[in-house]
Amino acid sequence: MDWISFNTEAEKKLATKTEAQLGDWTRFLLYQFNSSIFIDTLEKLTGIGGLLPDPHLWGGGLHQIERGGFLKIHADFTRHPVLPLDRRLNVLLYLNEGWQDSYGGHLELWDEQMTRCEARILPAFNRCVIFSTTAFSFHGHPDPVACPPGQTRKSLALYYFSNGRPEEERLIEHGTLFVHRPGEVYRAPRPGVPTHAQVVKSIVKRFVPPILVDAVKRFK
């Protein structure tokens, strides 16, 4: 296929361009993930109501990481680029038969303050990972994949949206925001999005009573 190639200090990966590139059975699988049956299951599982699939697959579809590729820790874009919708859930299905622990490529889920990794998940065949999308849901597989030559780390990614989100999650909106692990040095792309310091400031704001925030604004 004609893949979109990302090659920066923050990510080295391949992604599909459009649904039209996919085979019949892959499209059939996508339709099941976008069906009312699956969405009802997601709503029961997560407690998030009014979920909507993205028929345009913005940022989703098939992804693959070649040997030496990676995706640094980041928080995904919080709003749909075209539709007036908030991004709420990520669903990742891994397609790696025979994937070994030594190959790496583990999905890492980090805490909001980027002080520690809370979970490392092997991208084993048929494993599905579901997690919420907020301004602080930091994740990625930041270390180079060490699979054998000719093999790749494959996944199917789908994102789900809603018309609005809880007020406590509206502290900050951004595009894809790359952040550094402790002691990590690289040049993050996407100038113009909030810095990590701004994200930390927003985290602190979550613990300040609204009455104090209003008082500061009136004082200014």
Neighbours of 155 (CB within 10 A): 22
Boundaries of domain holding 172: 4-219
Model confidence over 6-41: pLDDT tens digits?
A: 999 999 999 998 888 899 999 999 999 999 999 999
Q: What share of the chain is helix, strand, coil (3-state, %, to 5)?
A: 25, 30, 50
Evaluate if pTM is beyond 0.75.
Answer: yes
Average pLDDT over residues 213-217: 65
CATH of the domain at 205: 2.60.120.620
Residue 206 is predicted with a pLDDT of: 52
Contact 145/103 with Cβ under 8 angstroms? yes
Percent above pLDDT 70 for the chain: 85
Does 199 score more than 70 pLDDT?
A: no
Quote the number of domains for the chain.
Answer: 1
Does 96 score more than 60 pLDDT?
A: yes
Q: How far apart are CA 220 and CA 218, in angstroms?
A: 5
